[in-house]
Structure 1
Amino acid sequence: MSNSAETAERVAVIDVGSNSLRLLIADIFGPRSLKRVHFALQTTRLGQGIGGGYLLPEAVQRTLAALQEFQVQVDARGCRKVVVVATSAVRDAANREEFCALVHRTTGWPVRVLRGEEEAFYSYSGVLLAGGFAPGIVVADVGGGSSELTTFRAGQLITRSVPVGAVRMTEGGHSAAEIRRLLSPLVQSLSGEPIDFLVGVGGTATTLAALDQEMVVYQPEKVQGYSLSRARVEEIHRRLAGLTLEERCRLPGLQPARADIIVAGVQIVLLLMELLGARRLVVSEADLLDGLAVEVAAMA
């Protein structure tokens, strides 16, 4: 199909995550054709105090302010359809309904709270949309509040989610042994032959690619498809763990707002690679946002 403005459906997808709020505006030209028009990210740390079971008022206010800024960006770019989804922090919160109602009142946008398995599915769909991967890949989405694994085996899509994320593990002070135990249910259904590589999506995975390339300015095209050996991920983890927060904040490729949770995030990635026997991590910039955008465009 021709990539012309006349044939494109312009949509906006907002992901309300435990650590970051992300906006993707894309032109959709069909079920397998997407062009990113605009991307924005704000670290609002909605999952602050995630172990307490409630979204904290200050975190909610930060998120609402960022959503209002995103609304200006969406309106300026003529999006015909907008969808807002929320993941782990909202999913697990006792006051999730109040939060969703507040967002709706403030922005006019309803919030769809994704189940962990839905989150996994859309991340997997987004990876395949980017091209270069076969359906049998194993996709890991390491987020702030949860981690998901998705693959296609024996004609069946397998999706798994556990409440193990960079924010949750950092705030809980979990050891590597504890994180490994919590991740075990995620990989049980995928046990068997070791996999050659694990496809990583989400902020921890993209940060690993940016750190390894010492990116002063983030370059999505250099992140997409970037490969790191397991030994290199181990090396980065040791280096990060040995630095103070202030020292990590100065590293090229690491957003200062992520510096406090990056050690736990990389620990999760590394443990998943070990549990699955993966020798390499291949990073995908395309993820849940892309998978959702295509679905939104197809809705009546």
Structure 2
Amino acid sequence: MSKRIAVMDLGTNTFHLLIAEGNASDYKALVHEHDSVKLGEGGINKGIIERAPYERGIATMQKFRNRIDKFEVKDVKAIATSALRNAANGRQFIDEVAHKTGINIELIDGEQEADYIYRGVKLAGGMSGQTTLIMDIGGGSVEFILGNEHAILWKKSFEIGAARLMDKFHRTDPISEDSIHSLNSYLEEHLTALIGVAAKYPINALIGSSGAFETFAELLERDKGKRFDLSIKNYDFKLDDLIKVTENLIASTHEQRKANTGIIPVRVDMIVVASLITRFIINRLGIHNVCMSTYSLKEGVLAEMMD
């Protein structure tokens, strides 16, 4: 039975809306849009949503409501993650959205977030029978899921998202060597659980789910004189090329990144710490195969709704 559904992924940096119809394995996207809300701007490490991003978030939810009504969608799900679950005024935001739009936001924890990400990546067909590490770099948190096409072996959400790390470590531009060293030490300290479990399971490949990895792919394709096709579900990196593009981003200035049309505005600055996280994981865990899935949390929610 064909269903028409609307999924909203309300992240720390970006609010996404996906309206689709069909079934999980073969659906048609009617609306696929996002707004750079930057909900964590100015308050991410203080545990509060500041007034300007708060208002941007409300305005985007009202716009999404209008889009949902235009397409006459009745089956609607809005998922909120790190920024809203950790903000002192997160509940106030959720209540105001419900009052002004009738959309009831579901606040999920990191474990549920990891489940949806796994389901989305699996739906894209990028998983195999071998042990794979999925990494989803969000603004507030980073999810790691170890598993294969059959099951999740281990999962954990860490509150070390790009907006948090940028606020803590990216104080000069380009980012200083001292800050890079401090950030790597911070990751070493906070990712002990991941490092420990990775020692038990030989990892065949790393899959980066959407986000920063789409930017890496876009930049690499542009270097070849091509345009990255976001309609594809999976993309394989050459490791040397990926390392080179992350090194260039880490060494770049804000003005250089801003002038690069391959980097969307919301990622102009956060792509630096996202590059550093990616490089840390590849080096620390000795990973040789890296790919990207354009599917992530919202596609995992879609799969659940359509099934």
Taking structure 1 as the reference length, the TM-score comes to: 0.89
Residue 81 of structure 1, CA deviation:
0.7
The residue that corresponds to 1:12 in the other structure is: 6
Residue pairs, 1:201-240, within 5 angstroms:
201-214=209-222, 219-222=229-232, 224-240=233-249
Q: CA deviation at 1:193?
A: 4.9
| Residue in structure 2 matched with residue 64 of structure 1 by the alignment | 58
| Residues paired across the two proteins, number | 290
Looking at structure 2, the residues matched to 36 and 183 of structure 1 have their Cα atoms a distance apart, in angstroms, of 36
C-alpha distance in 1 between matches for 2:193 and 2:50 = 29
Gaps of 5+ in 1: 1-6
Q: Which residue of 2 aligns with 1:119?
A: 113
The match for 2:190 among 153, 158, 182 is 182
Residue aligned with 1:220, SS: coil
Shift of 1:218: 5.8
Deviations 1:213-239 (A, max 9, x none): 1289663135x3212233333211221
Cα deviation, residue 55, structure 1: 1.2
AA partner of residue 118 (structure 1): Q
How far does the alpha carbon of each residue in 1:2-33 deviate from its partner, in whole angstroms, 9 at most, with x for none? xxxxx31011110110111111112242x544
**Counterparts of 1:216 and 1:252 in 2: how far apart (Å)?**
13
Residue aligning to 2:257: 248
CA distance in 1, matches of 2:160, 2:76: 29
Q: CA deviation at 1:50?
A: 0.5
SS at match of 1:198: strand
Q: Does the aligned pair in 2 maintain the 1:217–1:253 contact within 8 Å?
A: no
**Take 1:111 and 1:20, find their aligned partners in 2: how far apart are those partners?**
15
Q: What is the root-mean-square deviation of aligned Cα atoms in Å?
A: 2.2
Shift of 1:69: 1.4
Q: Distance in 1 between matches of 2:200 and 2:286?
A: 9
> What are the within-5 Å matches in structure 2 for residues 33-44 of structure 1?
33-44=26-37
Partner of 1:130: 124
Alpha-carbon spacing, 1:292–1:61, altered in 2? closer, same or farther (3 Å): same
How far apart, CA to CA, are the structure 1 residues paired with 2:32 and 2:69? 14
Change over 3 Å in CA distance of 1:187–1:28 after alignment to 2:
farther
- Structure 1 residues 184, 35: closer, same or farther in 2, change over 3 A? farther
1:220, 1:24 → 2: CA distance?
14
User: CA distance change for structure 1 residues 219 and 69 in 2, over 3 Å: closer, same or farther?
Assistant: farther
